[in-house]
Amino acid sequence: MASSQRSSFNSCTRRLESQQNQTHTSAVTSTLVCQLSRARAPTNSRPYMLGAGLLTYFLSKEIYIINHETISAACMATVIIYSVKRFGPDVAAFADKLNEEKLQKAEEVKALAVASLAQAIEDEKKEQWRVEGRHLLFDAKRNNVAMLLETNWRERVHTVHNEVKKRLDYQIALQSLHRRMEQEHMVSWVEKNVVSSITPQQEKTSIAKCITDLKSLAKIQQAKATV
Amino acid sequence: MMLNFFDQFMSPVLLGIPLIALALLLPWILFPNPAARWINNRLITLQGWSISQATHQLFTPLNQGGHKWATLLISLMIFLISLNLLGLLPYTFTPTTQLSLNMAFAVPLWLATVIVGLRNQPTIALGHLLPEGTPLPLIPVLIIIETISLFIRPLALGVRLTANLTAGHLLIQLIATAVFVLLPLMPTVAILTASVLFLLTLLEVAVAMIQAYVFILLLSLYLQENV
């Protein structure tokens, strides 16, 4: 029926199909009949009709009498309607805000829990990544330990080398000392024996020979100097 | 039927059924029970927020013993506010315009505070009868005055509520009648009077809420002295 609810008068200028073939239809009555048989206004006017009708009935039959209470009722109605229209949206928004705050608190708790869990996930992922790099750490530590061992071994070898060298040097020094002492002892023994074996006669002849040698040398030297 | 401005304060009876019971029960259906949900609709959210604000406001100055009275006093405040506001609508009966009802609220609650004070801390409760720093010759007179002031409290509580609401309703009726009578005679004056009526309606809405709050506030103050 909705599609047929048209109230324009112009739609009735097209007569009803049943009337179009009639020869003796009056224009006035046919329009009237057309209008009456179609649906009326788009807005539902039934409640307004009931209200207006009831009001008229009550007033005309003096079931409701207009008196001072009507005036005060009109005043009260003005106050109520004005306050509802003016403060209604604000009050509704306030009530919605109260509910929103309640929801917000719960949402905060939820968001906090979700955030902490997401952070836990991130931390776990980082730990797993760290675990992957663990072998590098172990290699580095192994190398470190190996280097330490090597260094330690080399130090000890060096120490051993030095100690052995010291002992060998000592032995060499000892031997050389021995030899030198033997040598000195022999030399002093020979000297002592030679000195002790020099008789005074030999001593005189040797000194006389030395003097003649020296004189001859001096002559030779003089001769060289004059040449 | 003579127009009697005090007919509105007569306890309504229909066919022998006292309708005041209905008038007293009506506020109960206006406040929905909070559903077993975490986030409620706007009405229940606002209701819960306003009740918690009022409770916090009224009971922060009180100590732990006074907090036991919170349910009673806050539910009484909601009851009184709704009764007062509903009474501003036309053709409604306001139960709180009846002195009997207000005294029935005021006297037992005031008496309860006094008895609680005298049972638990009699010295301090009696000590309230003499303000600090009074000169010696004035002490007897002042004790008598303070006792009178103590006993006038329930009367003041009840009559304050009754008088404010009754006066407000009467004023609204009077000025609305003035507007109604002047409307055919002098429309301009009627419109000015209608603006006065509009302002008065706003005042009455405020007074309705404030008087209920003051009732409970004074009871909490009396409680604060005694608990």
Which is nearest to B218 in space by CA: B167, B161, B164, B143? B161
Which is nearest to B189 in space by CA: B201, B199, B175? B175
Q: Work out the pLDDT band at A223, boundaries 50, 70, 90.
A: very high
Contacts of A78 in chain B (CB under 8 A): 198
Rounded mean pLDDT, A30-40: 69
Of B177, B198, B201, the CB nearest to A68: B177
The number of domains in chain A is 1
Q: Which residue of A has its CA nearest to B46?
A: A95
Is A5 a residue whose pLDDT tops 50? Answer: no
CA distance B224 to B59: 9
CB A144 within 8 A of CB A137: no
Q: What angle (nearest 5°) sits at the alpha carbon of residue A207, between those of residues A201 and A211?
A: 145
Query: What is the model's pLDDT at position A2?
Result: 46
- Please, how many CA atoms are within 13 Å of residue A22, restricted to the half-sphere of its CB? 10
> To which residue do tokens 């009735």 refer?
A12
Of A67, A76, A94, the CB nearest to B88: A76
Query: What is the model's pLDDT at position A33?
Result: 72
Rounded mean pLDDT, B40-49: 92
Element (H, E) at B17: strand B17-18
Rounded (10°) angle between helices B99-120 and B187-226: 20
Q: Work out the pLDDT band at B4, boundaries 50, 70, 90.
A: confident
Both structure tokens of A142: 């192994």
Q: Do B176 and A71 touch (CB under 8 A)?
A: yes
Which is nearest to B57 in space by CA: B186, B214, B174? B214
Domain membership of residue A86 as a residue range: 2-99
In a domain, A11, yes or no: yes
CA distance A111 to A90: 30
How close, in Å, is residue B77 to chain A by CA atoms?
21
Is B3 a residue whose pLDDT tops 70? Answer: no
In a domain, A130, yes or no: no
pTM over 0.90: no
Q: Do B179 and A91 touch (CB under 8 A)?
A: no
B125 touches chain A (CB under 8 A): no
Of B38, B42, B197, the CB nearest to A75: B197
Query: What is the model's pLDDT at position B2?
Result: 57
Q: Do B198 and A98 touch (CB under 8 A)?
A: no
Q: Which residues lie below 8 Å from residue A63, measured CB to CB, with a gap of 6+?
A: A57
Contacts of B88 in chain A (CB under 8 A): 76
Query: What is the model's pLDDT at position A20?
Result: 63
The average confidence (pLDDT) of chain B is 92
Which is nearest to B121 in space by CA: B226, B4, B6, B216? B226
Mutate to test the interface with A, among B4, B40, B93, B180 (most CBs of A within 10 A): B180
Q: Work out the pLDDT band at A39, boundaries 50, 70, 90.
A: low
B209 touches chain A (CB under 8 A): no
Q: Work out the pLDDT band at A3, boundaries 50, 70, 90.
A: very low
B45 touches chain A (CB under 8 A): yes
Is B48 a residue whose pLDDT tops 70? Answer: yes
The ipTM (two decimal places) reads 0.85
Query: What is the model's pLDDT at position A79?
Result: 94
**Higher per-residue confidence, B44 vs B132:** B44
Q: Which residue of A has its CA nearest to B88?
A: A76
In a domain, A223, yes or no: no
CA distance B105 to B100: 9
Query: What is the model's pLDDT at position A18?
Result: 61
Q: Do A69 and B176 touch (CB under 8 A)?
A: yes
Is A139 a residue whose pLDDT tops 50? Answer: yes
Q: Do A75 and B201 touch (CB under 8 A)?
A: yes
Q: Do B90 and A95 touch (CB under 8 A)?
A: no
Rounded mean pLDDT, A3-30: 60
Rounded mean pLDDT, A187-201: 87
Rounded mean pLDDT, A153-157: 96
A63: phi then psi, degrees, rounded to nearest 5: -75, -40
Query: What is the model's pLDDT at position A19?
Result: 59
Of B90, B177, B201, the CB nearest to A79: B201
Lowest-confidence segment of A38-42, A105-109, B122-126, B192-196 by average pLDDT: A38-42
Query: What is the model's pLDDT at position A90?
Result: 96
Query: What is the model's pLDDT at position B17?
Result: 86
Of A67, A76, A102, the CB nearest to B180: A67
Is A4 a residue whose pLDDT tops 50? Answer: no
Rounded mean pLDDT, B13-40: 89
Both structure tokens of B104: 């029935």
Q: Do A94 and B46 touch (CB under 8 A)?
A: yes
Task: State the virtual CA torsion across A135, A141, A144, A150 in degrees, nearest 10.
Answer: -90
